[in-house]
Amino acid sequence: MKTSFENKVVLVTGATSGIGKVTALAFGKAGAKVVISGRREAEGQAVVAEIKSAGGEATFVKADVAVEADVEALVAKTVETYGRLDVAFNNAGVELTGPVVDVNEADYRRTFDINVWGVITSMKHEIPVMLKQGGGVIINTSSAAGHVGIAGASVYVASKHAVEGLTKATALEYAKQGIRVNAVAPAVIETDMFERFTGGSEEAANYMRSLHPVGRGGRPEEIANPVLFLASDAASFITGASLNVDGGFLAQ
């Protein structure tokens, strides 16, 4: 997809690896000024270097989305550096597997602090900036697990259902104020998180891949392209939506 983001400022959380990294690189290639954020500075700086080596502009801001002060500082640094915020891809997330009877409070809080509170606090600080400048676009990373139940991943599933609800409600709150809020809902994407999710078991990985009617897992760039579409003017009449990018998983 040939979409230009010249003179646009894009913030990507969870951008040090996987979907976030590949999407940040795609925004950079499309001409955006990209703010890379995550908890791992070395990896984040490597993404910045890759964007710059391709002729783009980027900066890294270390932040943990579970900590509101970090997110507030991240958004402030974005505006201080580039003067505005046009697109926010709230992508940071964490996985959790295991039956519900084995879940402890620490597991629950870590998952919801990152997957849910991280999205809430990101939007809380992104939206005022967008309102001042007359609009903007927010895309939240949900999951196919935000639409159906998946045995053995109850807390993760619950967190992604929450992202779906947050996306819809926030879209309605700001629909008349020039801010579009959507979600992208991937199924299995071949990233580091997928490796952790399957515990390094090739048997488990192949089983997860087989759940998709297309017969394989997705590639990170197959999420990046839909995110760039949702962020672009081509999607100007789309808000409150969740775009399933799942190889047919939810059609079954």
The 10s digit of each residue's pLDDT in 173-211 is 999 999 999 999 999 998 777 777 667 778 777 887 888
Residue with tokens 């010249």: 6
In a domain, 78, yes or no: yes
Catalytic residue numbers read 156
pLDDT at 146 over 80: yes
* % of the chain residues with pLDDT over 70: 98
Instruction: Please give the residue range of the domain that contains residue 47.
Output: 9-189+219-242
In a domain, 30, yes or no: yes
CATH code assigned at 82: 3.40.50.720
The pLDDT score that the predictor gives to residue 133 is: 97
In a domain, 177, yes or no: yes
The pLDDT score that the predictor gives to residue 235 is: 97
In a domain, 247, yes or no: no
The domain total for the chain is: 1
In a domain, 128, yes or no: yes
In a domain, 124, yes or no: yes
In a domain, 202, yes or no: no
Per-residue pLDDT averaged across 35-64, rounded? 97
- Of 4-8, 198-202, 223-227, which range is least confident? 198-202
